[in-house]
Amino acid sequence: MLAPTLDAGLIRLDFPILKEQVNGRELVYLDSAATSQKPTAVIEAISAYYTHANANVHRGVHVLGERATEIFEGARESVARLVGADPRGVVFVRNTTEGINLVAQAYARERFGPQDRIVCTEMEHHSNLVPWQRVREQTGCQLEFIPVTPDGRLDAEATVRLLQAPTRLLAVTHVSNVLGTINPVEELIRQAHGEGIRVLIDGAQAVPHMPVDLAQLDPDFYAFSAHKMCGPTGIGVLYGRPELLDEMPPFLTGGSMISVVTLEKTTWDEIPHKFEAGTPDIGGAAGLRAAVDYLEKVGIPSVFRHGVELTEYADEMLSEVPGLTRYGPQGPDQLGIVSFNLEGVHPHDVGTIVDRAGVAIRAGHHCCQPLMRRLSVSATARASFYLYNTRDDVDALVAALFEANRIFGS
């Protein structure tokens, strides 16, 4: 059944920053894959935390300490509900990058040696690539990559070949931040588990935009960031299968993650606290909880439908722009992210010219240098959509691209 449509015009009213004037024009924000804008409810939740509840968590016997702990643990419950996870498996980290580093160091580094292989893909963000190179340096394990096809999908034949012994871990993105490709992660997890291979999914570009049910997908690890899903910067989530987290040593050590400390020896707290050393980002958790409430109120299935429809509209309109090359699949397995180049115009110039018209896009390698090499480009321009974007925003981008062509004489 099709989800109800959302009214992006009404939703825009919840995001005060969208009233900003940029270069004399009303802001058109098409860079949500980098970070999303924040609704008033999130901004107010952070402010309310500091105004009425600021204290440290899991320590205080006083009222503010209890309020802060309720907010922090309430955020964990909210996140767990959103993604269908056991709250004991929800570890608060700084961002997706830290979540993946946690798994690289506390899981892979501890277990793998030269006889083992980690498999990644050519479309990974550096955050899901560099940590595995580091593990290779530390353990001598092998690291191989599933190639990306010319239409921006994972090579099926190589996937089958690489999801076999000696592979021990597959680390793959759910949605590509450059191509918008939605990878068939449910099938990949099933295939990998059939061969006894653990799976980490980078969900940074998925959780904000589409329903994600970890109970159904059943990954071993799944990482995402609050700041791409209407929440604040500084807090993210690593989901880990509780039995695995239980077995793993801590990533960072110090206060808050211990059970008993003597001068000789320390024992660890229960999960997830074992992985949350030091004072956490409590204000961030307050914002994240409000972001989850906000997205649930709008309805993630409606956010997904809106992203699909806007991307289809953008594809149709961009096909009218002379000299434009689009990267990535254009079909049902593509979501919310449109990368392209204009013939004869460097993507940074494209970014600068559209910015003059108040349109914010990203230009560069998008932290995916190996993918750029595979696409035989040094950089692309990238527009990315979210629940507050409208067809008018796409039209503003397209008009600005015609202007870029005029300036560069194409």
The amino acid at 378: S
Residue whose CB is less far from ligand C6P, 99 or 283: 99
Element (H, E) at 368: none
Q: Which of 27, 30, 33, 375 binds ligand C6P (CB under 6 A)?
A: 33
Neighbouring C-beta atoms of residue 320, cutoff 10 Å: 10
Ordered strands of the 324-327 beta sheet: 324-327, 337-342, 380-384, 362-364
What binding mask, one character per residue, do residues 236-275 give for ligand C6P by CB under 6 A, x or -? x---------------------------------------
Rounded CA gap, 237 and 253, in Å? 18
Report how many residues bind ligand C6P under the rule CB under 6 A: 18
From residue 12 to residue 31, the character string flagging contacts with ligand C6P as x (rule: CB under 6 A) and all else as - is: --------------------
C-beta of 116 vs 276, nearer to ligand C6P: 276
Task: Considering the complex, state which of residue 53 and residue 383 has its C-beta at the smaller distance from ligand C6P.
Answer: 383
Q: Does 204 bind ligand C6P (CB under 6 A)?
A: yes
Nearer of residues 69 and 128 to ligand C6P, judged by Cβ: 128
18 vs 130, which CB is nearer to ligand C6P?
130
Whole-angstrom distance, CA of residue 217 vs CA of residue 84: 10
Helix residue spans in 53-95 (DSSP H): 63-83
Question: Does 130 engage in binding with ligand C6P (CB under 6 A)?
Answer: no
Residue 270: CB minimum distance to ligand C6P, A: 26
367 is a contact residue toward ligand C6P (CB under 6 A): yes
Based on the shown chain and the rule CB under 6 A, indicate whether residue 202 belongs to the binding site for ligand C6P. yes
Torsion angle of C-alpha atoms 355, 358, 362, 363, degrees rounded to 10: -20
The residue among 359, 394, 353 whose CA lies nearest residue 22 is 359
Residue 404 CA, distance from chain mean position: 30
274-333 residues in contact with ligand C6P (CB under 6 A) are none
Residue 225 binds ligand C6P, judged by CB under 6 A: yes
DSSP 282: H
Q: Does 183 bind ligand C6P (CB under 6 A)?
A: no
Name the β-bridge partners of 362. 382
DSSP letter for 270, please. Answer: P
Please select the residue that binds ligand C6P; options are 34, 244, 252, 377, rule is CB under 6 A.
Answer: 34
Please list the active-site residues.
367
Name the residue nearer to ligand C6P (CB basis): 33 or 82: 33
Residue type for 317, please?
M
* All residues at 6 or more sequence positions from 382 whose CB lies less than 8 Å from its CB, including other chains: 31, 33, 178, 337, 338, 339, 340, 361, 362, 363, 366
Rounded least distance, CB 95 to ligand C6P, Å: 3
Which residue, among 165, 103, 174, 93, has the nearest Cα to 134 in the 3D structure?
Answer: 103
Residue 179 CA to residue 336 CA, distance in Å, equals 9
Summarize as ranges the residues that interact with ligand C6P (CB under 6 A): 33-34, 95-97, 125, 127-128, 173, 177, 202, 204-205, 225, 236, 362, 366-367
